[in-house]
Structure 1
């Protein structure tokens, strides 16, 4: 009985398919291909006793692509370069460079054809949606009317965009400063009253609205909200040379520093080993500006909590002024990429890491595009294939454990920290003290 029932059902399905094929052949004689496709999509056919649970939306990807090209990338676009820069947070040349690099690196961004021969989304559409979500912090389904992308496709485009940006440009734009960069930074910071300074270090907390309940206690800080911490080093031009994201919000800056690889990178790669003169003395180690919570190490120069003399007050004023570089960098990133200004609405911490890191990469790329030509090692940034450029670091030679410990102790020397700050106090007074008289 069961075999006969299955045989009847199979016969019905075969008859149904034969009838459909016959109707399809008849319609071909009276309709062209486009009219036939529209007719088949409009016909709501239910096979079996259970109707389809998902509604198919006929999105014309071709028209959406043409609309975007006419608005921004045509010979006579509707919106000029200034409006493009405001909406995409980057020059048009940089955006097209990113699209080309992503399309060549990741197969996801290449246009494909589905089973019925219909062309899919283009790389321009996917990158357009990802950049708009980063720039405005909007929901994924808010782009459907313009890009003809569903919310799941837009979200997938965002994740693929961030991951591929890091894969293609991360080695170059997330590197520590090389020798040429160090010399440029020290020269510029010497004019500001701090010779030997590379940049300033600080932490920033990103609210995690969608934090899982199991992680809530670990990631909640003093304000009672779940946050994720970003540690970064920025220079005078707000270029971010180091980023470490993912620490729970319950940690303070010292705890994050203990987890951060910055100290090991400084020791292994020797990026801070450079000679400069300060207050008539030759020094061989660069330093960072930090706020009061950081430890008294020889690589950190902090302000004075309660300055007493005029010289100390002048030093505190200059130090706090230059230390605002990292605060400016955090502010610019949040104003530029509004997804970071809003609470994070993703569950996966790895996705948050990809978004933050991709925003930092794009931020550094924007700085390079607006920088003078001669500031970047006499290389025009948008001509160089940065995907193949290797960061110029000192040889990463593994140190014996005893040598590593001795170098680490030198970086954590409190006496050298105090001596360095005193020399900077005297230097600032010699160069800027006349303004206080």
Structure 2
């Protein structure tokens, strides 16, 4: 834990544990492997409906209803996106469906905030390059400000686990993966301890059944996903795949969010 939290070297353990450097590294390897094997299904799981609802509510308060996160990468974003399984479950229909409303328009696909290098997909919302109108300038400021949250979250992870911000060349790729996953799992344990999901939700006086909800979340029906032999399932897979990558949806959603954020600003002023 000292090596993870404080980033101390393995030979530093000689002073108070009387163990060799190689033994300290071996102990760390056993520890991070055990943490992964025991806890990854619990603390690296998909978001539950309660998690998703909390994310959507926070995003709606900032003017981005239907937004579930922001994406950023210190490497080449296009290469990472090409290797990422992020949208596999969406295309297979294994994620919870979400219905939300923006400017009296209904949508059922969540989206992420990204930078300009990412493709114009229906599941992405970029900032506007060189905005000229006050509406587009305000939208770009809000989008860029919210997208910085992913960098702040990683900064918190680095501050809590110093081994992440230390040199990495001394570790094998396998150990680096286990170290990163262990730090994320332990971080999620701390977050869960501070936010008890099983606690009863407080009563919201504005939650009136006659008013439209900000977002409705419900599980998809369990349907076999063997798309190779079932034409109907194959068509559904292709439809969801096109929706994720639809450039028309990208432009439409961006325009609607520009109007929505500008309306919120005028109301606040």
Q: Which category describes the TM-score, using the shorter chain as reference length?
A: 0.7 to 0.9
Structure 2: how far apart are the matches of 1:393 and 1:165? 30
* 1:132-191 alpha-carbon deviations (Å, 9 max, x no partner): 111121211101222232211211111111111111111111112122221221112111
Q: How far 1:268 sits from its partner (Å)?
A: 2.6
Structure 2 residue 248 is the aligned partner of structure 1 residue 378: no
Answer yes or no: is the 8 Å Cα contact 1:134–1:338 preserved in 2: yes
Q: Pick the aligned partner of 2:258 from 401, 425, 429.
A: 425
The alignment's C-alpha RMSD in Å is: 2.1
Q: Secondary structure at the match of 1:195?
A: coil
Structure 1: how far apart are the matches of 2:92 and 2:154? 27
Structure 2: how far apart are the matches of 1:268 and 1:144? 52
Answer yes or no: is the 8 Å Cα contact 1:292–1:303 preserved in 2: yes
Q: Secondary structure at the match of 2:65?
A: coil
Structure 1: how far apart are the matches of 2:124 and 2:86? 13
Q: Secondary structure at the match of 1:277?
A: strand
Q: How far 1:322 sits from its partner (Å)?
A: 1.2
Please give the TM-score of this superposition, normalised by the length of structure 2: 0.84
Answer yes or no: is the 8 Å Cα contact 2:96–2:219 preserved in 1: no
Q: Pick the aligned partner of 1:311 from 127, 132, 135.
A: 135
- Counterpart in the other structure of 2:11: 141
Aligned length: 245
Structure 2 residue 240 is the aligned partner of structure 1 residue 407: yes
Q: Secondary structure at the match of 2:63?
A: coil
Gapped runs of 5+ residues in structure 1? 1-130, 205-248, 380-391
Structure 2 residue 64 is the aligned partner of structure 1 residue 194: yes
Structure 2 residue 5 is the aligned partner of structure 1 residue 184: no
Structure 2: how far apart are the matches of 1:170 and 1:176? 11
Q: How far 1:400 sits from its partner (Å)?
A: 1.4
Q: How far 1:273 sits from its partner (Å)?
A: 2.2
Decide whether aligned partners of structure 1 residues 325 and 269 sit closer, same or farther in structure 2, where only a CA change above 3 A counts. farther
Structure 1: how far apart are the matches of 2:34 and 2:171? 20
Q: Pick the aligned partner of 2:111 from 277, 287, 308.
A: 287
Structure with max Cα Rg: 1
Q: How far 1:409 sits from its partner (Å)?
A: 1.4
Gapped runs of 5+ residues in structure 2? 201-217, 229-233
Please give the TM-score of this superposition, normalised by the length of structure 1: 0.53
Q: How far 1:295 sits from its partner (Å)?
A: 0.9
Answer yes or no: is the 8 Å Cα contact 1:287–1:301 preserved in 2: yes
Q: Pick the aligned partner of 1:321 from 128, 131, 145.
A: 145
Structure 2 residue 191 is the aligned partner of structure 1 residue 358: no
Structure 2 residue 168 is the aligned partner of structure 1 residue 344: yes
Q: Secondary structure at the match of 1:163?
A: helix
Answer yes or no: is the 8 Å Cα contact 1:276–1:284 preserved in 2: yes
Answer yes or no: is the 8 Å Cα contact 1:268–1:397 preserved in 2: no
Decide whether aligned partners of structure 1 residues 322 and 270 sit closer, same or farther in structure 2, where only a CA change above 3 A counts. farther
- Counterpart in the other structure of 1:296: 120
Q: Secondary structure at the match of 2:32?
A: helix
Q: Give 1:118-267 correspondences, 5 Å limit.
A: 131-204=1-74, 252-267=76-91
Q: How far 1:272 sits from its partner (Å)?
A: 5.6
* 1:370-422 alpha-carbon deviations (Å, 9 max, x no partner): 23x3xx2438xxxxxxxxxxxx9754731415332332111100000110111
Q: How far 1:270 sits from its partner (Å)?
A: 3.8
